[in-house]
Amino acid sequence: MIDLYDPTTIREADSMAIGKFKVPGIVLMENAGLEASLCVQRLFPQAERFLILAGPGNNGGDGYVMARHFAIRGLLPIVLLAGAPEKIKGDALQNLEILKEMSTPIRITEEMTVEEITSLMSESHVVIDCLLGTGSKGSPQGEIRRIIELLEGRNNIVSIDIPSGINAETGEVYSPCVASVATITMLAMKTGLAAMPAAAKAGKIEIVSIGVPPHEVLPSLPCATLWEEEDAIATLPERKLDLHKGGRGTLLVVGGSEHYRGAPLLSALGALKSGCGVVIVASTDDVCREGISFLPEAVFHPMKRENPQDLLCWSERGTAAVVGPGLGRDSHGASLFECIWNEWRHPLLVDGDGIFWLNELKSYLKKRNDVIITPHEGEAARLLGLTAKDVASSRLYAAKELARQWGCVVLKGHGTVIDTISRTVIIREGGPELSVPGSGDILSGVIGTFLAQQISLLDSASLGVWIHGKAGQFLAERKGIDGILAREIAMGIPSVLCSLREKEKTKH
Ligand SMILES: NC(=O)C1=CN([C@@H]2O[C@H](COP(=O)(O)OP(=O)(O)OC[C@H]3O[C@@H](n4cnc5c(N)ncnc54)[C@H](O)[C@@H]3O)[C@@H](O)[C@H]2O)[C@@H](O)CC1
Ligand SMILES: [K+]
């Protein structure tokens, strides 16, 4: 698990290092710049010529320290001051004054032609982006904007702390924005570096010390966490030797309609391939009849769509339910959804058409605190009254807002965000191979399986998304990212689980 912190928390940690631990700010900057310069050399051992683009704040200050340390090592740094050099103050100014006494070239970009700047960019082995850091606000303006535009298309940029032009809190990407091959970030990882779309601008991320132990200055609870394999291993349900299929959970899947017959079957397949004990597919007569040959391991309950209460006969045996895959948008779909939402007494996952009905019927629904909703960006946008573009540009914010309304949300898409108001998890496993029809149905079954085994909402959602993503990744490695069928993702899940269990054994 990688802990993530927003810029406000990082600023408070810097203040604590200065105030409580009495480490002067200029010493923090010295450590940050020295460590960052060493890190750049580890990443580019052959590089000799470094172009340091420095903005007016302390991010620029880190750059002057880096330039000095490159010069000490006999390398060739050049510093370009971008944007209002008269604004430079404090620790950054002091480091600039030191550098001015040395022979390192320092130039002001406003006094240079585009050709001069771009040829320096091309001649350098590494361009170092110290334009904007965690103190930046909104889209880059003025001279900094012009310089970022000149960086477009270069593949030798390393950003310091964050790529200039991202929002380090929300993961938003402004225009223009630096796209880096690596980002060297100070003290701890920023939330915006892990969240899409900004994560795609950061490249490889390295964390360097500012000379104080992070746990001494950062709060014990991070603002968000980035899940890793060890988290999936730690969350796996226990498997005793005398395990009975009831111990693997009993999941009710409610969905399917005239035109969407496959969705509940794929959800059930996802559940069975994730180790669910009993899966009951409650659907139309047709789906149940045809479903038996597709998935004989499932139990089928042909629904009386005019009498949704009939489904509640599974309340005794069932331990969780998924409602929505292919449910349909006719009045039967509405009454089935309303019945399950208001009367099902076990944890519930709402996906697909269930999310449509959640939005339509919200004023008729009882308050529940045991529900996971799994919208993609378009569905999230409808729930929030925003556009899909708004949601895509600020996924962390959208997930938090949905969690405020519904308790636990899985905002699907690359860099899935899971939010329960008090906790935020980001999962980066999986890629474009997962954007295929039925992939979300499989995911609903995977998460439903863990919910049915009494794992918490947050852990069920995180484990389900991680495993689904990893199964996609394994497939992509063997078959590429095009032409994957949703059922192949499900078929890959046992190998993912097996590899997690193997690693679990070696840990004990
Ligand atoms: N003690 C500390 O606080 C430490 C800070 N460090 C560095 O300091 C950075 C934060 O420094 P600052 O708070 O000075 O902030 P920044 O260096 O991020 O930038 C603030 C400056 O940029 C200008 N600016 C803000 N938004 C802009 C925009 N959209 N377009 C153009 N100009 C804009 C502001 O006028 C201000 O002068 C960190 O990212 C890190 O690199 C490190 O040196 C470690 C220690
Ligand atoms: K930067």
Is 461 part of any domain? yes
Is 76 part of any domain? yes
Residue 34 tokens, joined:
């020295």
Rounded CA-CA distance 270/121 in Å is 50
Q: Are residues 124 and 262 in the same domain?
A: no
Position 193 confidence tier, pLDDT thresholds 50, 70, 90: very high
Residue 354 tokens, joined:
């269930």
What's the confidence (pLDDT) of residue 238? 86
- Length of the chain (residues): 508
What's the 192 CA to ligand 1 centre distance in angstroms?
15
Rounded CA-CA distance 468/490 in Å is 8
Q: Strand order of the sheet with strand 182-186?
A: 106-108, 76-81, 49-54, 126-130, 157-160, 182-186, 204-208
What's the confidence (pLDDT) of residue 84? 83
- Ligand positioned closest to the Cα atom of 162: 2
What's the 134 CA to ligand 1 centre distance in angstroms?
6
pLDDT in tens, 158-178: 999 999 999 999 999 999 999
Is 238 part of any domain? no
What's the 136 CA to ligand 2 centre distance in angstroms?
9
- Ligand positioned closest to the Cα atom of 202: 2
CB atoms within 10 A of CB 359: 13
Mutate to test the pocket of ligand 1, among 26, 59, 109 (most ligand atoms within 8 A of CB): 59
Q: Which residues line ligand 1 (CB under 6 A)?
A: 14, 25, 28-29, 32, 55-59, 61-62, 83, 87, 132-142, 144, 160-161, 186, 210
What's the confidence (pLDDT) of residue 171? 95
Which residue's alpha carbon is nearest to atom 15 within ligand 1? 135
Q: How far is CA 205 from the centre of its chain?
A: 14
Is 62 part of any domain? yes
pLDDT in tens, 5-17: 999 999 999 999 9
- Ligand positioned closest to the Cα atom of 61: 1
Residue 180 sits in a domain of what CATH number? 3.40.50.10260
Cis peptide before 176 (omega within 30 of 0): yes
Is 441 known to sit in a ligand binding site?
yes
Per DSSP, 83 falls in state: S
Q: Which residue has the tokens 């940690």?
A: 13
Mutate to test the pocket of ligand 1, among 20, 27, 58, 91 (most ligand atoms within 8 A of CB): 58
Q: Are residues 360 and 216 in the same domain?
A: no
What's the confidence (pLDDT) of residue 27? 98
Q: Are residues 166 and 73 in the same domain?
A: yes
Q: Which residues of 443-468 are buried (b: 16+ CB within 10 A; e: fewer)?
A: bbbbbbbbbbbebbbbbbbbbbbbbb
Is 134 known to sit in a ligand binding site?
yes
Is 239 part of any domain? no
**Domain containing 119: what range?**
2-223
What's the confidence (pLDDT) of residue 285? 94
Residue 440 tokens, joined:
């979300």
Question: Backbone phi, then psi, for 317, in 5-degree steps?
Answer: -85, -35
What's the 271 CA to ligand 2 centre distance in angstroms?
44
Which among 28, 38, 30, 25 has a CA at the least distance from the CA of 64?
Answer: 30
What's the confidence (pLDDT) of residue 489? 98
Which residue's alpha carbon is nearest to atom 2 within ligand 1? 14
Q: DSSP letters of 295-352?
A: -TTSEEEE--TT-GGGGGGGGTT-SEEEE-TT--SSHHHHHHHHHHHHH--S-EEE-T
Is 136 known to sit in a ligand binding site?
yes
Q: Are residues 198 and 295 in the same domain?
A: no
CB atoms within 10 A of CB 409: 29
Q: Are residues 359 and 291 in the same domain?
A: yes
What's the 180 CA to ligand 2 centre distance in angstroms?
10
Q: Are residues 112 and 162 in the same domain?
A: yes
Q: DSSP letters of 394-450?
A: THHHHHHHHHHHHSEEEE-SSSEEEE-SS-EEEE----GGG-STTHHHHHHHHHHHH
Question: Backbone phi, then psi, for 483, in 5-degree steps?
Answer: 80, 20
Q: Are residues 203 and 255 in the same domain?
A: no
Give the position, in ligand 1's atom list, of the atom nearest the Cα of 132.
18
Is 366 known to sit in a ligand binding site?
no
What's the confidence (pLDDT) of residue 307? 87
Confidence check: pLDDT of 299 > 80: yes
Q: What average pLDDT does the segment 380-408 reach? A: 96
What's the confidence (pLDDT) of residue 508? 67
HSE (side-chain half, CA atoms, 13 Å) at 457: 26
Which residue's alpha carbon is nearest to atom 33 within ligand 1? 136
Q: Are residues 309 and 175 in the same domain?
A: no
- ipTM of model: 0.98
Confidence check: pLDDT of 306 > 90: no
Q: DSSP letters of 45-75?
A: TT--EEEEEE-SSHHHHHHHHHHHHHHHTT-
Q: Are residues 171 and 307 in the same domain?
A: no
- Asked if residue 362 lies in contact with residue 354, where contact means CB atoms within 8 angstroms, the answer is no
Is 51 part of any domain? yes
Is 329 part of any domain? yes
Is 133 part of any domain? yes
Is 328 known to sit in a ligand binding site?
no
Is 508 known to sit in a ligand binding site?
no
Q: What average pLDDT does the segment 301-330 reach? A: 93
Q: Are residues 250 and 322 in the same domain?
A: yes
What's the 87 CA to ligand 1 centre distance in angstroms?
12
Q: Are residues 375 and 466 in the same domain?
A: yes
Q: What average pLDDT does the segment 194-209 reach? A: 97
Mean of pLDDT over the chain:
96
The amino acid at residue 17 is A
* All residues at 6 or more sequence positions from 160 whose CB lies less than 8 Å from its CB, including other chains: 36, 59, 62, 63, 66, 128, 129, 130, 133, 183, 184, 186
Is 346 known to sit in a ligand binding site?
no
Q: Are residues 10 and 131 in the same domain?
A: yes
What's the 28 CA to ligand 1 centre distance in angstroms?
14
Which among 209, 142, 208, 139 has a CA at the least distance from the CA of 178?
Answer: 139
Q: How many helices (H) and strands (E) does the chain have?
A: 20, 19
Which among 472, 357, 487 has a CA at the least distance from the CA of 413?
Answer: 472
Which residue's alpha carbon is nearest to atom 25 within ligand 1? 136
Residue 491 sits in a domain of what CATH number? 3.40.1190.20
Is 270 known to sit in a ligand binding site?
no
Give the position, in ligand 1's atom list, of the atom nearest the Cα of 141.
30
Residue 483 tokens, joined:
């032409």
Q: What region does 362 belong to: left with phi over 0, alpha with psi -120 to 50, or beta?
A: alpha
Q: DSSP letters of 355-373?
A: HHHHHHHGGGPPP-SSEEE
What's the 130 CA to ligand 1 centre distance in angstroms?
9
Q: Structurally, how many domains does the chain consist of?
A: 2
Position 240 confidence tier, pLDDT thresholds 50, 70, 90: confident
What's the 16 CA to ligand 1 centre distance in angstroms?
18
pLDDT in tens, 32-70: 999 999 999 999 999 999 999 999 999 999 999 999 999
Give the position, in ligand 1's atom list, of the atom nearest the Cα of 18.
1
Picking from 223, 256, 285, the residue at the C-terminal end of a domain is 223
